[in-house]
Amino acid sequence: MSGILDKAADAVGGNNDQSAQGGDNIERSADNAANTEINDKATDAGIPKGADSTIDKVADSKINDEIPGGN
């Protein structure tokens, strides 16, 4: 009996993982839009392009904290 319960729990856990991935597309879209805007402003302000990835990581983290259902 416990083997069946374990399989059921694994199946439910797998479905929960898959349903959480819907937020990933929202996060990715939000990240890309914000990164473009932020990088443009940073370039206008004279910040070197080499800093873009560092700025993007910080911005992505802040944005993703605000979006439920993602990772």
Please list, in sequence order, all residues whose beta carbon lies within 8 angstroms of the beta carbon of residue 42, skipping any fewer than 6 positions away: 51, 52, 55
Q: Which two tokens stand for residue 16?
A: 């929960």
Report the alpha-carbon distance of residue 51 to residue 38 in Å, rounded.
11
Is residue 66 scored above 50 in pLDDT?
yes
pTM metric for this prediction = 0.60
Report the alpha-carbon distance of residue 9 to residue 31 in Å, rounded.
33
16-47 residue pLDDT tens? 454 555 567 888 888 999 999 999 999 999 99
CA angle at 37 for the pair 20 and 63, rounded to the nearest 5°: 30
Residue 50's pLDDT band, with cuts at 50, 70 and 90, is very high
Scanning the chain, the segments in alpha helix (DSSP H) are 2-20, 22-44, 52-66
